[in-house]
Amino acid sequence: MPNVRIKRERTKGWRKPPGCKIVDRTSDFGNPFTVAQLVDIGYAEPQARTMVITEFRSWLRGSRANWAADEADQRREKLLTRMPELHGMDLACPCEEDEACHGDVLLEWGALPLVALEVRIASARARVDRQRAFQGMKPLHDAAALTAVLTRDVGPRLLVDVDLGDGIPQRWDSGTWSQYLASQRRAEEQVTARLVEVFA
Ligand SMILES: [Zn+2]
């Protein structure tokens, strides 16, 4: 059964059910983008609510477009490091169950098979470090370690998105990817393509 998001009640005596993780702003999993920020500059709900979830989604995937500060990168990093804790968990947030919530983005991450999760995390980190390098900032990760995750065989019968270097991911099956890797390695060429996403 897929995992679900439940409402964290503020009433006394509410207890988190087993197999559930709290992801609101009292946790490392909270959305740093707030509806209030957008309402302040003139947006109305529920559009503002949708926007902060979109911002959260792309920020988590390594975009620095809406918040290009070291603080933002450290915060994302903390979340990415803890992301495997959400694997296979239900999530709790004070949002109503029928309203949009950043927890829905986290549910998608938590539903990924572990190999896909590892690739997605490495892909986000590599993306952040590329943008940091562009601004003359120090990378947060060892490039070789990220490359090792992003240039590996991922097993049979999966779909993968591969970046061949132009930043536009192409969808391959894992057989095609593995053949590509094998041919590059036979030719002792450096593998320049990178996994962006792995689908079960
Ligand atoms: Zn929420």
Q: 194-199 and 90-93: which strand pairing?
A: unpaired
Q: How far, in Å, is the centroid of ligand 1 from the Cα of 190?
A: 43
Q: How far, in Å, is the centroid of ligand 1 from the Cα of 181?
A: 41
Q: Which pair of structure tokens corresponds to residue 131?
A: 């943008």
What does pLDDT average to over the chain? 94
Residue-wise pLDDT tens digits, 83-101? 999 999 999 999 998 999 9
- Rg, the chain, Cα only: 19
In this prediction, residue 157 carries a pLDDT of 87
CA distance 161 to 174: 9
Domain spans in the chain, listed from the N-terminal domain onward? 1-111, 119-200
Residue-wise pLDDT tens digits, 161-199? 999 988 899 999 999 999 999 998 898 888 889 999 998
Range name among 94-98, 126-130, 138-142 with the lowest pLDDT average: 94-98
Q: How far, in Å, is the centroid of ligand 1 from the Cα of 166?
A: 35
φ/ψ of 14, rounded to 5, equals -70, 135
Residue 11: pLDDT band by 50, 70, 90 thresholds? confident
φ/ψ of 5, rounded to 5, equals -105, 135
